[in-house]
Amino acid sequence: MAKPLVALLSGAGISTDSGIPDYRGPAGLWRRDPEAEKLVTYAYYMGDPEIRRRSWRMRRENRTLRAEPNAAHRAVAELERSGVPVRVITQNVDGLHQLAGMPARKVLELHGSARSVVCTGCGARGPMEDALARVAAGEEDPPCLECGSVLKSATVMFGEKLDPGVLGQAVAIAKACQVFFAVGSTLQVQPAAGLAGVAADHGARLVIVNAEPTPYDELADEVVRDPIGTALPRLLKEIGGGVQGVSP
């Protein structure tokens, strides 16, 4: 009997146990400091050198690059290693799924990666750590070393569009999977949130693991409010073992 294709959409909630705060939860960054959104809004970033300087300072202080995968990330990687076909579609930019052992080719980063930088002029890319080293050495707004244009994190800022190729792959996975987990996502940011509906419409078993209600709860076959760090490993272990209550 063929093992089901398992798709997992992960949001900020899967990484909070790694010390990375979420954005839209009850204590999320955008609720605590609405001004912080300007630092990751493309128009503000490109138009205001002071915003860029503040953004680079924020990146230096950001815990994302120092974070380690938690039990939930490891459980996903373990399921993939067990032989179950797994594809991760993540709204996160922290790279923790890959650090936990998921092959990079099986992880779709909808919103890019905070571990790289990209030039807004020539498109050159490089490690975020190298750019941050330049900031630490005194460059408050380091330009691209290739062409001198503005450098930014290789993440999708507010006001930028998702990579259509990556989004297309995500939609294809949502249509093809037999089980779709939405984990730690408020399912409020489109088009990523809509993938849960696409999966359900194409017959997948939809399991939502999130502390707060989401707009897709009524579509779900199962809604789990337990902490992700304990709930997801349990659910994925059942998938790996072929437990009837969870597999389609």
User: Domain map of the chain by residue range?
Assistant: 1-20+70-111+162-248, 25-62+112-155
The yes-or-no answer on residue 111 being catalytic is yes
1-20+70-111+162-248 belongs to CATH 3.50.50.60:
no
CATH says 25-62+112-155 is which class? alpha beta
Residue 185 has φ and ψ, to the nearest 5°, of -120, 140
Q: Looking at 1-148, list the stretches that DSSP marks H as alpha helix, in order from N- to C-terminal side.
A: 29-32, 42-47, 49-61, 71-81, 96-99, 128-136
**94-139: pLDDT as tens digits:** 999 999 999 999 999 999 999 999 999 999 999 999 999 999 999 9
Q: Contact at 8 Å (CB) between 147 and 125?
A: no
pLDDT computed for residue 7 by the predictor: 98
9-to-109, 141, 177, 217 alpha-carbon distances in Å: 10, 34, 12, 15
**Mean pLDDT per 10-residue run, the chain (248 residues)?**
88 92 56 74 96 92 87 97 96 96 97 96 96 96 97 95 95 98 93 95 97 95 96 92 43
Q: Contact at 8 Å (CB) between 112 and 93?
A: yes
Q: What is the mean pLDDT of the chain?
A: 91
CA 76 and chain centroid, separation: 14
Block residue for tokens 């076959």: 221
**193-218: pLDDT as tens digits:** 999 999 999 999 999 999 999 999 99
Helix/strand/coil for 247: coil
pLDDT computed for residue 65 by the predictor: 85
Q: Contact at 8 Å (CB) between 88 and 110?
A: no
178-to-4, 56, 85 alpha-carbon distances in Å: 6, 42, 10
30-to-38, 212, 228 alpha-carbon distances in Å: 10, 16, 21
CA–CA separation, 82 and 108 (whole Å): 20
CA–CA separation, 26 and 40 (whole Å): 20
List 73, 97, 111, 202, catalytic entry: 111
